[in-house]
Amino acid sequence: MSQMPGTAEQDVVDFLTNDHALMVALLETIQETADPKERRDLADTLIAEVMRHAVAEEMHVYPAVEKHVPNGKEEVEHDKKEHDELVDVMKRIEDLDSEDPRFLQEIREMHGMLKHHANDEETDQFPKLRQHIPREELVELREKVEAAMKAAPTRPHPSAPHSELFHKTLGPGVGFIDRLRDKLSGRTTDA
């Protein structure tokens, strides 16, 4: 499901907006899929993608929001709280059998949460980023986000802090271990 690498001119706002759309579409596909194994595989891919996205935002986008956007620190705290809520629901999804009726209930809950979070960023935060950060820096930020997504964890870790320092120092190791676990278990993390 990973989106194609951004073009040389694509900025972080367009890149993350595209990623939001891909994740929401994947959630809709999961809800429409009747085959439990396919539903599980799609959910595992979704969880990996949301984790990569969230970690990359926390590493690079949120520090830019805090630095450049008025009331940025408060906005970031709100976003991190929403990330915590998404991590909790992803952990519940990960722990459920895809044939359990609660599985689709959790998917629907995640769908609503992710749409809300994406809408907040796309209608409020992203325009502010464009207003306060030069385009060249937004393109550089997209490059950093893409690189971070490649090394980010693929599984929810509810006790992990949502901090730039954690993600830059320990996050790549956690991501490596997650990808190793994914490979050994046959877990699908990329469509």
Average pLDDT over residues 52-69: 92
In 3D space, the residue among 97, 98, 16 whose CA is nearest the CA of residue 52 turns out to be: 16
Two tokens at 26?
């994947």
- The pLDDT score that the predictor gives to residue 151 is 76
Handedness of CA 85, 190, 150, 67 (dihedral sign): negative
Average pLDDT over residues 15-38: 96
Are the C-beta atoms of 27 and 107 separated by less than 8 Å? yes
- The pLDDT score that the predictor gives to residue 188 is 61
Q: Hey, how many other C-beta atoms are within 10 angstroms of the C-beta on 135?
A: 11
Q: Tens of pLDDT along 100-140? A: 999 999 999 999 999 999 999 999 999 999 999 999 999 99
| Prediction pTM value | 0.80
Alpha helices in 33-157 (DSSP H): 36-56, 62-68, 72-95, 101-120, 126-132, 135-151
Who wins on pLDDT, 15 or 174?
A: 15
DSSP state of 97: -
- The pLDDT score that the predictor gives to residue 150 is 84
Residue 156 to residue 164: CA distance in whole angstroms: 17
- The pLDDT score that the predictor gives to residue 148 is 87
